[in-house]
Homo-oligomer: A and B are copies of this chain.
Amino acid sequence: MTTERGTSAQPLRLAVIDTDSGFLQVLDKRLERLGWEHRTMASAVPVETIVAMRLSALVVDLAILGPGGWDYLHRVCSELPGLGVVVCTGQSTVAQRVRGLRLGADDWLTKPCHPEELIARVEAVVRRRRRSDARQERGPVAAGELEIRSDRFQAFVDGTSVDLTRREFELIELLAGSEGRVLEREEIYQRVWGYAMARGDRSVDVFVRKLRQKLEKASPDWRYIHTHFGVGYRFAAEAVDGSEPARREAEAAAAEPADGPAPATVRFGPGDGDVVAAELRALTS
């Protein structure tokens, strides 16, 4: 039942660094049949190239890499924490295998091996990684006046596009998809940019600013992205009520997505609070 058909349904992107033509040929045929996008390389390629390929998994024969292999393995694994890495190489010692796994490899397979097993192991590795990402895909999301349409790569307010660039859209899509949760910068970067965030990188902050500007202009009465000092950002549509401290109530209200009878008293500021509360409930349920 939980036998992830999702795994096979969604095409994987796989790269193989190897030169064993016989093996590759068989593998190719299998991968073709599975519908995985794949690519073979005869030698190590720069890590940036790997990043650009946006792979799900990488299979590598350490022997191909030569002496710098360990270092290369380590760099790939740390820059792309989300990438599945399977070492598939000739005879090795226990110490070597342990070293490879400790450096960040997800699996180590000894040649000669059956392509089917390699594939099953890649699947297992990717399955582990996908489990959480998978739930992301869904129809238009609405919050406040905002509507996010994945199919259009765009957010709309009242039917008009907010004119988000690709990155901006990916960012808000991620945030909105985790509505109510605080996401740390590292996680955001990892999931939007696809690789590890360098220390001191402010890209996330800058894009949050750009997003806020555009959203503010398009939907002045709502705040969507909230900063949690020292932690990260949280998405939640909150009406910008004239009275200042409406924040805490709104937080509480937005906190319960569906998992229980939220505090029946959804209070906003005094006054029109109930109207806003009702509106919010309607939009978010």
Contacts and interface: CB of A to CB of B under 8 A. Distances in A.
A103 interface: yes
Given A77-B2, A132-B131, A124 B101 contact: yes
A120 B97 contact: yes
Interface stretch (A39-47, A148-156, A205-213): A148-156
Interface stretch (A11-19, A60-68, A223-231, A272-280): A223-231
B117 A94 contact: yes
Given A153-B182, A165-B229, A160 B105 contact: no
Contact of A130 (B94, B132, B249): B132
Contact of A78 (B3, B74, B165): B3
A161 B251 contact: yes
A123 B102 CA distance: 8
Given A101-B120, A166-B230, A182-B151, A160 B249 contact: yes
B131 A117 contact: no
State how many copies of this chain the complex holds: 2
A102 B128 contact: no
Nearest to A167: B230
Contacts of A131: 81-82, 129, 132-133
Given A128-B128, A130-B132, A98 B77 contact: no
Given A3-B104, A125-B128, A132-B128, A180 B165 contact: no
A137 to B, nearest CB: 9
B81 A98 contact: no
A132 B153 CA distance: 20
A116 interface: yes
A1 B78 contact: yes
Given A134-B187, A180-B151, A123 B103 contact: no
A123 B152 contact: no
25 contacts: A1-B199, A2-B78, A2-B81, A94-B114, A98-B117, A101-B120, A101-B121, A105-B124, A106-B124, A107-B124, A128-B128, A128-B129, A132-B132, A151-B180, A152-B181, A153-B182, A154-B182, A156-B255, A159-B255, A160-B252, A161-B248, A165-B230, A166-B230, A166-B231, A167-B230
